[in-house]
A and B are shown apart, each in its own frame.
Chain A
Amino acid sequence: GAGVSQSPSNKVTEKGKDVELRCDPISGHTALYWYRQSLGQGLEFLIYFQGNSAPDKSGLPSDRFSAERTGGSVSTLTIQRTQQEDSAVYLCASSPDRPSSYEQYFGPGTRLTVT
């Protein structure tokens, strides 16, 4: 079946502009995660949605970052007033809702460049 998809694949924006990044999880996966990966670095957790529970926003680096998940499926990560330090690859992942679940399925990412 289809994997996790993200759009756009690349985004170049000017400093100060707002951007929206989209993630379509695997159908039926109720858990959805956003991560940020700077060049040559590890994955930095941003936010986690699990079913109808309140999202875990503990990784969002500032109030310029927000995310929503509509209908328990598609998610949008919004960055307002972008800064150059926001340049990174933004990865989305999803996973099934099972107690034994441990594997996350990643999308190809959105490469964000802030000029």
Chain B
Amino acid sequence: GQSLEQPSEVTAVEGAIVQINCTYQTSGFYGLSWYQQHDGGAPTFLSYNALDGLEETGRFSSFLSRSDSYGYLLLQELQMKDSASYFCAVKTGTGGGNKLTFGTGTQLKVEL
């Protein structure tokens, strides 16, 4: 089966750095994605790691260690608008358009 574990909730102050961890157990693995979802909104893509290491996109970075079945999303210079749910998701097949298995999500609250 497939399972992904994330903390349910994280709170941080504006301007700080926060790390959201994700551990996974899946049959087949081709990459780890992160999605952001604001309340009442659609999930939007943030980042993708197929290989070990750190990927940086502006204030957001994502890390993957395939040997540890572990990844994290790092958010720097937190802003109030970053308050949202963050989901990790595993891609379990090659080729275009493979389904993703999502974690249960981490609700990030950014406070003043």
Interface set of A (CB-CB < 8 Å, partner B): 30-31, 33, 35, 41-45, 48, 50-51, 56, 59, 91, 93, 95-109
What is the bound-complex CA distance between A95 and B91, given in angstroms? 13
A109 and B104 contacting across the interface, CB-CB below 8 Å = no
What is the bound-complex CA distance between A98 and B45, given in angstroms? 17
B96 and A95 contacting across the interface, CB-CB below 8 Å = yes
What is the bound-complex CA distance between A13 and B9, given in angstroms? 33
Interface centre among B42, B87, B89, B101 (most CB of A within 10 A): B42
A42 and B99 contacting across the interface, CB-CB below 8 Å = no
Closest to A97 in B: B96
Closest to B42 in A: A106
A30 and B43 contacting across the interface, CB-CB below 8 Å = no
Mask: chain B, 22-46; 1 = CB below 8 Å from A; 0 = not:
0000000001010000000111110
B102 and A42 contacting across the interface, CB-CB below 8 Å = yes
Interface size of B as a range: 20 to 34
Interface set of B (CB-CB < 8 Å, partner A): 31, 33, 41-45, 48, 50, 87, 89, 91, 94-105
Min CB gap B66→A, angstroms: 15
A104 and B100 contacting across the interface, CB-CB below 8 Å = yes
Interface centre among B33, B44, B97 (most CB of A within 10 A): B97
B99 and A30 contacting across the interface, CB-CB below 8 Å = no
What is the bound-complex CA distance between A109 and B42, given in angstroms? 7
Q: Which of A35, A96, A107 contacts B97 (CB 8 A)?
A: A96
Which chain B residues lie closer than 8 Å to A102 at the CB level?
31, 33, 48, 50, 91
Q: Which of A51, A56, A103 contacts B99 (CB 8 A)?
A: A56
| 9 residue pairs from A and B, CB less than 8 Å apart | A31-B98, A42-B87, A42-B102, A45-B102, A48-B98, A102-B33, A105-B45, A106-B42, A106-B43
